[in-house]
Structure 1
């Protein structure tokens, strides 16, 4: 049998080939620049899609009407209203069938939409304008909501409703996290623990809604 010694360099090369390649960094959806963790996102309002963004592109599309208004930078604010509450009546008025929902206004379609996280992602439902007014017409967070790029994220637990104004990408992060751990009809204990941790992080991050605020 013929044998051949492999040099140290060759051994190192073989070891690298056996090891999984390191993940490539995400890239800006517009300029292609590599992005660090925690980067910003843009909303493509025509395609209803999120795109990763570098700082420069994010700043560019913060300007109203940039690129004809097709792209909008997702804000990073998380707000609560210590003086405002959402009661359980809103659940029946809005027709929410589950314990967690996020709601936002799509400016292109001129519709109010609700999304319910679940094992297959997020289920979409249109919200009647009259129902929105009855349930959330007096809610200051709802009044401060920016179309397309922000959402109201609500969770009902044991007779209490938590309500946050959040960036829309936060909602899709939650959808992805729940999808990975969902079991059974209601998600199971692991999904409930994920929800507890997620809303706990939002509570720490959130700031009170200013007394006077405009969208």
Structure 2
């Protein structure tokens, strides 16, 4: 397991004085009161803050092939998932929360979890990922690079959501900012509780019948 590079994630991972945010592609100021689009730079494996026009222009999923993909905004839940303790242990995640996404450059699923140093990365084995695919229909719905499976073991059960990948890095930044002691401390747990409450309020079950 190794620390995950945080290039392009500065506003999530390092406390800094307030400053005007700008599109990292064209330099136009971004409205502070609005949530602006993000792109994933698949070459650098980094998030890029973007204005709306640049996001539409550079998104390779909507136009010609390229290195950038726009982060979508859907939130999905799977209350009937079958991710149990054995499945969790196969992912080799030593903490209670993690997110998994498919890295198109590596053509592999990648699991990450928050730590005092930022996001720590692990590559699940094929058997472990197969067990996740069998346990929740959300895993097969993930858009590579830009969506993640967000998991949390809490109060004897596991929560499972499909979320935009930028939200996962926001979670990492919040946890790093508030982390205290060995297990994160009360403030970090409060941040985690608040974020998952937000996700629950937005998440909906996918349309269509269960597999």
Q: Which runs of 5+ in 2 are unaligned?
A: 1-16
Counterparts in 2 of 1:157 and 1:82: CA distance versus 1, 3 Å? closer
| Equivalent position of 1:28 in the other structure | 23
Q: Is the 8 A contact 2:148 2:165 kept in 1?
A: yes
Q: Is the 8 A contact 2:148 2:163 kept in 1?
A: yes
Instruction: Identify the match of residue 103 of structure 1 among 95, 100, 122.
Output: 100
Per-residue deviation, 1:201? 0.9
Q: Which runs of 5+ in 1 are unaligned?
A: 1-21
Instruction: Identify the match of residue 67 of structure 2 among 52, 66, 70.
Output: 70
Q: What pairs up with 1:62-211 in 2 under 5 angstroms? A: 62-64=59-61, 66=63, 68-211=65-208
Per-residue deviation, 1:206? 1.3
Measure the CA separation in 2 of the matches of 1:85 and 1:192.
25
Q: Once superposed, which parts of structure 1, at least 4 consecutive aligned residues long, lie more than 4 Å away? A: none
Measure the CA separation in 2 of the matches of 1:170 and 1:75.
11
Per-residue deviation, 1:116? 1.1
Structure 2 SS opposite 1:58: helix
Q: Return 203-212 or 104-113, whichever deviates more.
A: 203-212
Structure 2 SS opposite 1:28: coil
The alignment's TM-score, normalised by the length of structure 2, stands at 0.84
Task: Name which one, 1 or 2, has greater alpha-carbon Rg.
Answer: 1
Alpha-carbon displacement from aligned partner over 1:105-152 (angstroms, at most 9, x marks no partner): 100111211111011101111111221102333411101001100101
Measure the CA separation in 1 of the matches of 2:75 and 2:129.
21
Measure the CA separation in 2 of the matches of 1:210 and 1:177.
32
Q: Is the 8 A contact 2:42 2:67 kept in 1?
A: yes
Per-residue deviation, 1:85? 3.9
Alpha-carbon displacement from aligned partner over 1:80-125 (angstroms, at most 9, x marks no partner): 1233342222111212211010111100111211111011101111
Query: How many residue pairs are counted as aligned between the two chains?
Result: 192
Structure 1 SS opposite 2:110: strand
Greater relative CO, 1 or 2 (CA 8 Å, sep 6+):
2
Cα-Cα RMSD: 1.9
Measure the CA separation in 1 of the matches of 2:193 and 2:70.
28
Q: Is the 8 A contact 1:42 1:51 kept in 2?
A: yes
